[in-house]
Amino acid sequence: MKAYLGIDVGSLTVKFVLIDKKGEVLYWNYERTGGRPIEAIQRELKKLKEWIENHNPKIEISGVGTTGSARYLAGVIVGADLIKNEITAHAKGASFLVPEVRTVIDIGGQDSKIIILENGVAVDFAMNYLCAAGTGSFLDAQAFRLGIPIEKFGELVLKSKKPTTIASRCTVFCESDMIHKQQIGHKVEDIVAGLCEGLVRNYLSNVAKGKKILSPILFVGGVSENVGMRWAFEKALGQKVIVPKYNKVMGAFGVALLVKEHPPQKTKFRGFEISDMDIKCDSFQCKGCPNQCEVIEAKMNDKIIARWGDRCGRWSNLRYD
């Protein structure tokens, strides 16, 4: 049975989605990388292999796509047939589930983006730049500081009756403002609710600036798990915000769909054996010119499989097979 694998390696998490030839999800998983993306990919591959053995040993990986900020690294390691940017991948996944979707709000670990769609195709988008305010990493840090498990964060927000205003221009000031609000005696739930509202305000005025937000609106990415953020978006937009199925793995789902649409004749997938191989990434400074690029070198069992990061192509254009 033919199946297609989508892998999304972001700043904090790794997402795996396996689909069949109809686009039905057979398997999905979402895990933190713990700052070690290669090991995380290897671990997730092992889990997938076990799942296949236990559930449907007839499954055969016929194509692999990677996306996310570490899509090149992931693509090199697993042997991807398609390496696609996360905007296109998210647009694909979202429009497959909700064909009439017009807006996708995606907030991940360190990225936040808005995608505007027409007839199932992305026509405009924006990503955060200069600032990661309002992304998952910041929410994580604040939840930790307040001693609230991130999973309980949203529930607490919904308890709030009088959300307090939190400055949202910059995460540093945002944090000082939260501390100040604690010191003058505001309730924790009002502060976290205010924080969610502040982050949404920041998103709408920075990332979504000048974009027409039309319904249906889909909210995806790790932060969409947070019911508090959902509540704040709906309140600010005055419109329904849909958190679809597979919300946390939408990019991986989308890239799997893209591979399925244009399946390779023979997949470049290196196989599940790579879970047990010794994969290392190293870097060196090229001395070829004053640019002194930091070249990254990926090795599998001591054999160089790829190099990248050079501006001129001196290293990346070499063949390594």
Partner 1 sequence: MKIGIPKSLVYWKRPYFWENFFENLGFEVLLSPRTNKEIVEIGVKISDPETCFSCKVYFGHLKWLEGKCDLIFVPRLKRKGNSEYCPKFFGLPDLAKILVKTKILTETFDEKKERFEESLVKLGEKLGKNKEEIKEAFEKALIKEKEIKAKQEKETLEKINSNSKKIILISHPYNLYDEYVNLRIKERLERLGVVPIFIEEIPNSKSQIPNKFQIQNSNLPSFHWEFAKEIMEKIDFILAKKIDGAIEISSFACGCDAVLKEFVEKKFKEKNIPFLYLVIDEHTGEAGFQTRLEAFIDTIS
Positions in the binding site for partner 1 (CB under 8 A): 69, 84-88, 121-125, 127, 129-130, 210, 289-293, 311
Nearer to partner 1, 56 or 85 (CB): 85
Nearer to partner 1, 126 or 146 (CB): 126
Nearest approach in angstroms of CB 290 to partner 1 is: 4
Nearest approach in angstroms of CB 276 to partner 1 is: 29
Nearest approach in angstroms of CB 191 to partner 1 is: 31
Nearer to partner 1, 85 or 215 (CB): 85
DSSP track, 165-188: P---S-HHHHHHHHHHHHHTT--H
Nearest approach in angstroms of CB 70 to partner 1 is: 8
Nearest approach in angstroms of CB 99 to partner 1 is: 18
Nearer to partner 1, 165 or 292 (CB): 292
Q: Is the peptide bond before 263 cis (omega within 30 degrees of 0)?
A: no
CB atoms within 10 A of CB 251: 36
Helix (H, G, I), strand (E, B) or coil at 115: strand
For the chain, what is the radius of gyration of the CA atoms?
Answer: 21
Distance CA 94, CA 117 (A): 10
Nearer to partner 1, 1 or 172 (CB): 172
Helix segments in the chain, DSSP class H = 37-55, 71-78, 86-97, 136-146, 150-159, 171-183, 188-206, 227-237, 250-261
